[in-house]
Amino acid sequence: MSELSVNVRFIRYNDNSLVLRLNGSNYQFNRDKDFIDNLYEALVTLKRDESQEAYDAVMAIIDPMSAYNLPQYFERTDAGDIVLKGTQTPIPDDLAEFLFSFLDNETDILPFVRFWQLCLMNPNIQARDDFFRYVREYGITITNHGYVVLYKAVNKKGMSGLENFSEFVSENYLKIKRLKKSPSNYDVYIVLDKYAEFRRFALTSHSGNEPVLEEGEILEKWGNLDKTFQQLNTLDKGRQTTYVPWHSGKYGQEIKLGVPVTMPRWQCDPDITVGCSYGLHVGSFDYVKEFGSGLSTILAVLVNPSNIVALPEHDNSKIRTCEYYPYAVIEKDKRTGAWTELDDVYFESDYMAYEVDSLEEILDDNFEDDIDDAYISTENRLVYIKDVTNR
């Protein structure tokens, strides 16, 4: 390995701090003892042999991202930070490491790019910078367009008959998807008695027979399962299941599939030292399956990272947001009573269509002095965002 001209000068070194000057640049680290010791040993080796290999070992500790070629979405600032092109806000280290580990495996990183674009729209800098740590710690699914899949424990309002139609459609849609089958190959039926009163719902595949009827029953075909699920928010009130949250409050007291639940952001509490406070509460699967043990239903919800208000530090498996989109009822094992977490099953196109106008309003309301241009579409999401956080 060829030798380099290297100038290393230690200014201060102890168990948790290292200050040095390397080739004319100053570095200060206040980290744990293992990190400081590893860096110190690597620097001593570099002073001794001044090889490219030793220099690369030091830089891999100081700047783990230095070994990567930046993909088309990113660039490095003069200060050495990695940013999304067109912005000045450094990507959090844990997100950057995760992105580049995906690049090592030639995995598509565009969902994470879109996730960070939406994080940049969050006016709460702490929530913006800490949210990926939460996502990674609790294994939260990030959708293709940058949303996250979270959960909400609720009770179903006392109702029967046709008002349970949307829940029946949702449960069967996810069940079919989990079996790796296509919901478009199934039809939804309503079974009536001879007086045209509701009896039950039924589902059949295109390759099967129609539902078996008892004497006097009448069969009414509603439509295709896939199309019906995608149109849940358009169902008339008489066929919409309504849910209520555990806590009472002014907002979010009537929850329906396919209808965004919102409250004014300024009325949500951003204080992370407070566990339960004003805001719409959703959480990771681990949190909700315990919290929801006494409730009748757990809903899967989509959340836009820009709407995260607080990640409570003493119980951050749950979060406060000013908006979430309930889109499905998750299954409960009839034998064990255990809830079934979603894996890669999610549905975001309806929420994207809803959000096009509201995202424009968010940009205007929060960042009108900081964004020169932004383009939003249901297909491409945010194509360009100018820096919105370094104000």
Q: pLDDT confidence of 368, banded at 50, 70, 90? A: very low
pLDDT band for position 377 (50/70/90)?
very low
pLDDT band for position 356 (50/70/90)?
low
The confidence score (pLDDT) of residue 177 equals 80
| CA dihedral sign, ordered 274, 276, 278, 281 | positive
Burial degree of 378 (CB within 10 A; 0-12, 13-18, 19+): middle
What pLDDT, on the 0 to 100 scale, is given for residue 335? 66
Q: Please check the confidence at residue 230 and state whether its pLDDT lies above 90.
A: no
Residue 374 has a pLDDT of 43
Task: Provide the pLDDT confidence category of residue 256 given band limits of 50, 70 and 90.
Answer: confident
Query: Which whole-number Å values give the CA distances from 255 to 15, 175, 298, in the listed order?
Result: 53, 22, 12
* Confidence category of residue 4, pLDDT binned at 50, 70, 90: low
As a whole number, mean pLDDT of residues 316-323 equals: 84
> What is residue 322's predicted lDDT score, i.e. its pLDDT?
92
32 backbone dihedrals φ, ψ, rounded to 5°? -70, 165
Mean pLDDT of 150-160: 79
Tell me the pLDDT tens digit for each residue of 82-128.
888 878 888 888 888 777 777 666 667 788 888 888 898 888 988 88
When pLDDT is cut at 50, 70 and 90, the band that residue 166 belongs to is: confident
User: Does residue 387 surpass a pLDDT of 50?
Assistant: no
Between 390 and 362, whose confidence is greater?
362
Tell me what the pLDDT averaged over the chain comes to. 76
List the chain domain ranges. Answer: 8-62, 68-157+242-391, 161-238
Residue 309: pLDDT band (50, 70, 90) is very high
Average pLDDT over residues 265-288: 79
Report in angstroms the alpha-carbon separations of 352 from 151, 215, 380: 18, 45, 10
Pick from 355, 356, 341, 251: nearest CA to 300? 341
What's the pLDDT at 361? 63
Residue 1 has pLDDT above 80, yes or no: no
Lowest mean pLDDT among 240-244, 281-285, 368-372: 368-372
Is residue 31 over pLDDT 70? yes
Q: Which of 149, 114, 173 is nearest to 348 (CA)?
A: 149
Of the ranges 115-129, 291-305, 348-362, the best mean pLDDT one: 115-129
What local confidence, expressed as pLDDT, does residue 391 receive? 32
Instruction: Please compute the mean of the pLDDT values over residues 361-389 and round it to a whole number.
Output: 44
Quick one: pLDDT band at residue 67, thresholds 50, 70, 90?
Answer: low
- Mean pLDDT of all residues in 289-295: 61
The residues that bridge with 15 in the sheet, in sequence order, are none
- Residue 213 burial class via C-beta count within 10 angstroms: exposed 0-12, middle 13-18, buried 19 and up: middle
pLDDT band per the 50, 70, 90 thresholds, residue 305: very high
pTM: 0.70
pLDDT at 323 over 90: yes
The answer to whether 301 and 310 are in contact (CB under 8 A) is no
Residue 99 · residue 112 · CB < 8 Å: yes
Q: 373 vs 270, which has greater pLDDT?
A: 270
Residue 358 pLDDT greater than 50, yes or no: yes
